[in-house]
Structure 1
Amino acid sequence: MAEMTEADQIKTFKDFLVQYNKLSELCFNDCVHDFTARTLKPSEDKCTLNCMEKYLRTNQRVSQRFHEFQMLANENMLALAQKSGQGS
């Protein structure tokens, strides 16, 4: 397996930061409503944890389904190519 170039590593890190910031903003906006204290209320803390876990589980599930779809599509393309090769 080829090593990632520095440009690939930077792009991967930027993509990670975009996702992290998106998740942080989403959960913050959904869960934090009281700005009168310096610390999170227990309900806000629990909400942010639940939000993060749900987002990560959903993201993992979507990635898994995408991978399954790609494998099926590749198998179909291979079968079609073999069928076309036999018909010639």
Structure 2
Amino acid sequence: MGNNILRQILFDDQRHWDRFTEKYGTRIRPIVVKEVEKFRHCGNPKNGFKLLVCEGCHDVRIVPYRCKGRFCTTCSSGETEEWSRMMAEDVL
């Protein structure tokens, strides 16, 4: 889960996101709620993971699945980099 500052702001002990949805729930578009909920559970091993084992030293790593959501600060940065690379190729 890490130390993502946006995650800390939205989902800390004061429940900012939950209180926001309680207050403005009918005015929030469903896609926004869906993307934020994907972000909430991004990188959680309870939602699935890959188990990687080194054949040489037998080191075991658990790599949790990501949400690949556009709101997620971790997942969307890769998409943005890929988009900018493709645009640079087209322009140049």
Name the TM tier (shorter chain).
0.3 to 0.5
User: Which of the two has higher C-alpha Rg?
Assistant: 1
Superposition TM-score, scaled by structure 1 size: 0.34
Higher percent of residues as strand: 2
